[in-house]
Amino acid sequence: MFESVGVINVWTYLAGLVFIIILPGPNSLYVLRTAAARGVKAGYIAASGVFLGDAMLIFCAYIGVASLINTTPLLFTLVRSLGALYLFYLGAGLIYQSLRTTPAPSAAVVAPRENIISKSLTLSLTNPKAILFYVSFFVQFIDFGYAHTWLSFTVLALILEGVSFSYLTLIIFSGTLLARFFQRKRGLAKIGNSLVGMVFLGFAARLAAAVL
């Protein structure tokens, strides 16, 4: 189908891509939490950080930086450590805000002010699963005998971003429905934010355990 632009086994790529994207991770969880707290527009801002991070990692895979990180244990350990610290920061912040504040009935899940796109971008760029994906899975569908491999990477990137956009759109609108529910349930809103924070701490602990 896309062999003329150096892409091979595109249907296998698409099937694997769908399964990888729908696996729960800090990126999708942050988009869900942002949409629930601030609405559809903020959800798409968070998603744009994920899209930008994906594009940057694809570019890194193209120029070989991701391969360098994967084959250099010190660099990859650094990426894991930064990711664990940042996830811990987000999780602890959510739990602290839930314990410290008593939300009003009309704003039960409103989050404190934060730079949404920078947080989602940081989560994306410090996600070792994404780096390994582009190194070990993504490049398997490139015909390196093709003269213009940049075009092959671009085609695969557009497919990835399209699937990711569809999935995150579903998450965003699910988040706004949750927000309407939590606006009527103040106690559940605090519990929900605390649970999200604990999940972020769990991601941080898993990354930290991999580093040690």
pLDDT, tens only, 141-150? 888 788 887 8
DSSP bridge partners of 7: 142
Confidence at 112, pLDDT banded by 50, 70, 90: low
Percentage helix, strand, coil, to 5, in the chain?
A: 85, 0, 15
Contact 50, 164 (CB under 8 A): yes
Contact 198, 99 (CB under 8 A): no
Owning domain of residue 95: 3-211
End-to-end CA distance of the chain: 44
pLDDT, tens only, 39-67? 889 999 999 999 998 888 888 877 776 66
Q: How many domains does the chain have?
A: 1
pLDDT reported for residue 44: 93
Q: What's the whole-model pTM score?
A: 0.70
Within its chain, how far is the Cα of 73 from the centroid? Answer: 23
Q: What is the mean pLDDT of residues 105-133?
A: 68
